[in-house]
Amino acid sequence: MSRVRADEEEYWHSSKFRAFTFDDEDDELSQLKESKRAVNSLRDIVDDDDDDLERVSWSGEPVGSISWSIKETASGSTSSLDGRDSSLQKGSSSYAALPKQASSYSLSSLFKGRNKLSSFQSLSDALTDTGVKNYAPELRRPKAEYKDYSGDWSPKDTVRRMQRGKVCSLERFRSLQDKLVLLDEAVAGHDGNVITAVLIFLKRTLRREILFRELEVRQVALCHLIHFLRETGEQKFLLDLLRFLDRTEEVALSQYREHLNIQDVEKRREFLKGCIGLPFSAEDTSHIQDHYTLLERQIIIEANDRHLEMAGQSELFRKYPRKASILNMPLVTTLFYSCFYHYTEAEGMFSSPTNLKKTFKIPDKQYVLTALAARAKLRAWGDVDALLTTKNWLGYTKKKAPIGFHRVVEILQRNNAPVQVLQEYVRLVEDVETRLNLATKYKCHDVVIETYRDLKDRIQLTAYKGKVERGSAEEEKINSILSNTQIRWKN
Amino acid sequence: SRREERPYCDTCEVFGHWTAESASDRVLCSCREDRGRSPQRDFHILFVPRRSLLCEQWLKEQGVLGSFIHREQYSLDLIPFDGDLLSMESESAFKECYLESDQTSLYHAAKGLMTLQALYGTIPQIFGKGDCARHVANMMIRMKREFPGSQNSIFPVFDTLLLLDRNVDLLTPLATQLTYEGLIDEIYGIQNTYVKLPPEKFAPKKQGEGGKDLPTEPKKLQLNSAEELYAEIRDKNFNAVGSVLSKKAKIISAAFEERHHAKTVGEIKQFVSQLPHMQAARSSLANHTSIAELIKDITTSEDFFDNLTVEQEFMSGIDTDKVNNYIEDCIAQKHPLIKILRLVCLQSVCNSGLKQKVLDHYKREILQTYGYEHILTLNNLEKAGLLKPQTSGRNNYPTIRKTLRLWMDDVNEQNPNDISYVYSGYAPLSVRLAQLLARPGWRSIEEVLKMLPGPHFEERQQLPTGLQKKRQHGENRVTLVFFLGGVTYAEIAALRFLSQMEDGGTEYIIATTKLINGTTWIKSLMEKLEPAPF
């Protein structure tokens, strides 16, 4: 870091560039000068008479330095290979090396900065003179500072001046008519900065009903005001405006957005409750309702569990202290939490997983996935087994995984399940290739051996013998299968 | 913000591209803080890229505006990023234009174009597609009328200006870029031509030190075409980068071997004179080999492959109308939300909107897994047209895809013959529009243009007779393509590819409001969920 700064420092001190020059002429004069300068600048670009300034390329290296010349020769050779004049495409800004013709200056000359006071000036510099210089003693300035000294600017000129970054007094525009002309001029100028400035003025000086009515027929200005109110967080004014415009869904969303600014959970809950009746779209209404219900639940669970944890009597909380509060967490996180700490609770309890599943209509897939992850984390393999076992009406049990057994294996493996547990589920992976892959990856030897046997693949099975331990039960198993004369090997 | 102490300037802070309030808040804090510490200090304020009345108003309300001796702006419209690339680096331009209907960034784009014309001559032909494009063209014409002094006598560099709205092609930024530079950006994020990389692979391999202290600070590298090797590989498909690097390695080792053959003083001198170049080339090669390794670790991962497979299915029109398994899986595993949103939006765009049932399903899953407050973000995406229900009941995408040949099955990544190599199969719609404009002209695709949002148009700007170009035979035309709302590195690569085509006949210069990728783009549209700082 310090080296970089030193380099920078060196650059600023050693180079003959001046980054900035503030001139302190007064307005009129400087405007004239600047337009003259603009004209001159065009000539400067064309003539480019050599001065004694050090040339610096875009990369900041003085032209002529070793690395510069390397790049220069490099880009030179590539473009000559291309055999066409592609000065605009050259990587490094080889300003000095280019032919002196206006059309072939590289774009990078655009940002070479001002070599000297009057040289390179772009049109926008000439048009937007960056005015308002003030050298008066500071900290307390007369109020008159924001008044425009020369007074009578027309709406159009006022807008022009503001576009150039000058401060103008708007107080002169007294009548509604004048104010609206000013606003329309600002809109026609397209500079949002100015439009907003005028809107702030109108907002301060017009009655709401009048402002709203006039903005309704001025959509561009209206959008700017809405944006402004949103940025500055003037919620009440914004809602009034949206209501006036009958934008009900936007009112609802804007109001709902407010909850993010409420830190206190009780207050947030109350606020969300108030949002339920707002005119959202049908689909969104149910989400907002769920959001409220979830926070309500979380508050109850949090109070209970914090108490439990403090009391120190629950082994689960002692062994696995909570990392964070459950407040304001997403639904699925909450479900995980409840599967972790409250798995066995009866459905009647607010904190029980089954209750959450019902209340929020959590799909089976999502539920199994979350419960599986939580129980595997606790290494409760019995629960895992129960979760994946279904009974049909005859009382037979069957293993079923709505998420696919390969995903089950993945989750268990991530939680360091022992091979005995793992292989039971690897065996259930339907796709043979996936099953073989998983079994090999996680060293579920039995599954690999059995799968090769079922595939009647003697070559693979023989090869696999090299991967199991010498003298192990697995090796014996392979040997016994290989010597089984009943099997009709395919190879 | 950056603070540096210098002898002649007490405190210098640079505030760029912030909302007026957040910036002024920072100014205020540091101002109060400093005033307490050393009351004799002078304060100056410099607005980059432009002065904000809103910000000044706020500072005034806080009673500190008067403390600033200078209030200045350093106005930047278009900032050159490379020999053929200009950007306004206006992060929120897309959001402002399409969500908030605030077209200020377009005003500055138009101003930037006027500056460009003052320097490089009036651009005789303007083409455009989209509402914002129309707006910018209107402003340019108006500005020209209002400042007749801007009429200049410079021989025009550009033959054509093409203005393109980002919302004409919402698809391209959502897909994962597969060029070298595009992938660097997707994975590590390029900021102002700099990238920060994990340092492990850049450890100096000096003998004796035995890697005892690995660097912990991220490695920061500048990326632009001034670096010969980077210029050669940046726009290649990543799969073609490895062979270039190994070829270069051989050339460089051979060059270093030369020293054994240098016998006479003259030969040795010649060798020594080449040394700096060779050493620069070697370190450049080392850097890019390391970066390529880092990227390869990711592109060869299972998840990258799965993600890409789904993207390519969507873009070639497979199963875009039903809930996608992979997306569901990613939600279940709580992959980063932005990744999910990119995929869902991609599916929506490739299906001209999702069936209501599918959309509702995704929405529910996202809200349940990531939090209900994201309803605000989903709403923004809907407003921007990225995520929407299929209203017309008709899917236009297949027609657009076929007519514009957006999906190419036989893509050649090593020696490409079509722009589709930048996404390994998908040809970016925006660039296809530019390509077709040059040859045979948009008249051939009227039908498709009508399916895409916003008007398409052509304007001509009169040139004095003396400045009209008499084209030499075989001379290339130069087109400036301005992407309003952002452009990706892959799109830039595709345009550079077109520039370099033997018989292309057109060279492209690229300008944009912001260099984006799918992630930064979606992020700019997401609702900020932290409460405001004040």
Q: B209 pLDDT exceeds 80?
A: no
Residue of A nearest to B64 (CA): A139
Confidence of residue B331 (pLDDT cuts 50, 70, 90): very high
pLDDT score for B235: 97
% chain A with pLDDT above 70: 69
Q: CB A92 to CB B363 under 8 A?
A: no
pLDDT score for A168: 76
Give yes or no for a cis peptide into B49 (omega within 30° of 0): yes
SS3 category, B397: helix
* pLDDT per position as a tens digit, A269-282: 999 999 999 999 88
Q: Is pLDDT larger for residue A287 or for residue A50?
A: A287
CA distance A68 to chain B (A): 9
Largest Cα–Cα distance of chain A, in whole Å? Answer: 111
Q: CB B154 to CB A58 under 8 A?
A: no
Confidence of residue B266 (pLDDT cuts 50, 70, 90): confident
pLDDT score for A53: 38
What is d(CA B288, CA A380) in angstroms, rounded to the nearest whole number? 48
Phi then psi dihedrals of residue B334, to 5 deg: 55, 50
pLDDT score for A92: 38
pLDDT score for B532: 45
| Mean pLDDT of the region A425-448 | 92
Task: Decide: B181 and B190 in contact? Cβ < 8 Å.
Answer: yes
Count of A-B CB contacts under 8 Å: 232
Confidence of residue A371 (pLDDT cuts 50, 70, 90): very high
pLDDT score for B386: 96
Confidence of residue B322 (pLDDT cuts 50, 70, 90): very high
Q: A87 pLDDT exceeds 70?
A: no
| Mean pLDDT of the region B113-138 | 94
**Pairing of the two strands B194-197 and B506-512:** unpaired
Q: CB A192 to CB B84 under 8 A?
A: no
pLDDT score for B28: 55
Most B CBs within 10 Å, among A193, A296, A372, A441, to test the B interface: A193
* Of A58, A138, A362, Cβ closest to residue B66: A138
* Of A256, A290, A332, Cβ closest to residue B369: A332
CB atoms within 10 A of CB B266: 9
pLDDT score for A328: 95
Three-state SS across B126-166?
A: EEEECHHHHHHHHHHHHHHHHCHHHCCCCCCCCCEEEEEEH
Confidence of residue A351 (pLDDT cuts 50, 70, 90): very high
CB atoms within 10 A of CB B199: 15
What is d(CA B525, CA B99) in angstroms, rounded to the nearest whole number? 8
Task: Decide: A55 and A6 in contact? Cβ < 8 Å.
Answer: no
A430 Cβ contact list (under 8 Å, min separation 6): A405
Of the candidate ranges A117-131, A356-370, B290-304, B449-463, the one whose mean pLDDT is the lowest: A117-131
Of the candidate ranges A31-35, A219-223, B132-136, B296-300, the one whose mean pLDDT is the lowest: A31-35
Q: Which helix (H) or strand (E) holds B457?
A: strand B456-460
Judged by a CB distance cut-off of 8 A, whether residue B34 touches chain A is no
What is d(CA A387, CA A385) in angstroms, rounded to the nearest whole number? 5
Q: A209 pLDDT exceeds 90?
A: yes
| Mean pLDDT of the region A147-160 | 72
Q: A106 pLDDT exceeds 60?
A: no
Task: Decide: A457 and A429 in contact? Cβ < 8 Å.
Answer: no
Q: Which residues in chain B have their CB less than 8 angstroms from residue A70's CB?
A: 276-277, 280
* pLDDT per position as a tens digit, B132-152: 999 999 999 988 888 766 567
Cα-based distances in Å from A48 to A69, B66, B312: 21, 42, 52
Cα-based distances in Å from A141 to A137, A148, A164: 8, 15, 23
Residue of B nearest to A74 (CA): B228
Q: CB B78 to CB A110 under 8 A?
A: yes
Q: Which residues in chain B have their CB less than 8 angstroms from residue A86's CB?
A: 499, 507
Judged by a CB distance cut-off of 8 A, whether residue B71 touches chain A is yes
* pLDDT per position as a tens digit, A300-328: 999 999 999 998 888 899 999 998 999 99
Q: CB A332 to CB B79 under 8 A?
A: no
For the ranges A72-86, A130-144, B54-68, B425-439, the one whose mean pLDDT is highest? B425-439
Residue of A nearest to B278 (CA): A70
pLDDT score for A286: 94
* pLDDT per position as a tens digit, B30-47: 555 555 555 566 777 777
Q: What's the token pair of residue B1?
A: 């913000």
pLDDT score for B245: 95
Confidence of residue B184 (pLDDT cuts 50, 70, 90): very high
**Residues 327..356 of B with a Cβ closer than 8 Å to A: which?**
328-329, 332, 334
* pLDDT per position as a tens digit, B473-521: 677 899 999 999 999 999 999 999 999 987 878 999 999 999 999 999 9
What is d(CA B229, CA B248) in angstroms, rounded to the nearest whole number? 9
* Of A92, A105, A260, Cβ closest to residue B529: A260
% chain B with pLDDT above 90: 64
Q: Is pLDDT larger for residue B492 or for residue A101?
A: B492
Of the candidate ranges A399-403, A471-475, B404-408, the one whose mean pLDDT is the lowest: A399-403
Alpha helices in A320-431, H assignment, sequence order: 331-341, 353-359, 364-377, 381-387, 405-414, 419-426
pLDDT score for A262: 92
| Mean pLDDT of the region A27-55 | 41
* Of B86, B103, B476, Cβ closest to residue A84: B476
Confidence of residue A136 (pLDDT cuts 50, 70, 90): very low
CB atoms within 10 A of CB B529: 12
pLDDT score for A63: 38
* Of B53, B100, B364, Cβ closest to residue A197: B53
pLDDT score for B47: 77
What is d(CA B469, CA B477) in angstroms, rounded to the nearest whole number? 10
Q: A125 pLDDT exceeds 80?
A: no
Strand partners, B160: B125, B479
Q: B534 pLDDT exceeds 50?
A: no
Confidence of residue B312 (pLDDT cuts 50, 70, 90): very high
Cα–chain-centroid distance for residue A304?
35
Confidence of residue B8 (pLDDT cuts 50, 70, 90): very low
Prediction ipTM score: 0.84
Cα–chain-centroid distance for residue B524?
13
Q: CB B368 to CB A332 under 8 A?
A: yes
Judged by a CB distance cut-off of 8 A, whether residue B284 touches chain A is no
For the ranges A107-121, A221-235, B167-181, the one whose mean pLDDT is highest? B167-181
* pLDDT per position as a tens digit, A242-264: 999 999 998 999 999 999 989 99
Phi then psi dihedrals of residue B220, to 5 deg: -110, 125
Q: CB B66 to CB A403 under 8 A?
A: no
**Pairing of the two strands B9-13 and B456-460:** unpaired
What is d(CA A312, CA A314) in angstroms, rounded to the nearest whole number? 6
